[in-house]
Structure 1
Amino acid sequence: MTIEEIKALIQTPSYDFLRKNEHLGDHIIFLTLGGSHAYGTNTDTSDVDIRGCALNSGSDLLGLTNFEQVVNTETDTTVYAFNKLVSLLLNCNPNTIELLGCNPEHYFKITPIG
């Protein structure tokens, strides 16, 4: 699957949760590839792993609500809350370190904060 095909894929209804989930949508600061597509080891039968980070809301920061991550197993997508991502990075979690070293064209969304 090409990058253009993956970009089109994440615009399909299967990925609507990225736009409609209260913790995601405009809160996403970056969205990128993970897994074999990110490593360049994908084959024709490889699945698409999408990873990202979203800012915590004010109520999360105050402790009134709790958002750590959104996992969608149907699409193999994980979007971490900023606070959780920082914590995982500080502990050298390999699933999160890979998010910082993707090729520029693999970032489907990246804001100035991202």
Structure 2
Amino acid sequence: MRPLTARWIANAVSGELVGDVDTVVTSVEKDSRAVQPGGLYVAFVGERVDGHDFVDAAAANGAVMSLVSQPVAAPHILVDDVTEALGSLARAYLALLRTEGDITVVGVTGSNGKTKT
């Protein structure tokens, strides 16, 4: 992933940034245990588990920012809907890559063999 600033991400998701606008994010992760240093942790709310409960664990694992739908103590970007915001981030990132000509598109075509590819 291309490094992005927290400011760029907050603008892409129309979120409220709480933290340093110049923080650099180098990856995005939804599992707090898998976050790498420099990562953005995405706190989804599920049927049984609330990702907001793991924001501190993600920060301890190196997350420099979290994408959340409720305020937390760690640096974060507050949005109304985390799922919708992640989609907005993906669209904005793809548009950035296309603008810079830094993307390769691969198509798997044909009438046979795609299921096992």
More relative contact order, 1 or 2 (CA 8 Å, 6+ apart): 1
TM-score normalised by length of structure 2: 0.26
Considering fraction of residues, name the structure with more helix: 1
TM-score normalised by length of structure 1: 0.27
Considering fraction of residues, name the structure with more strand: 1
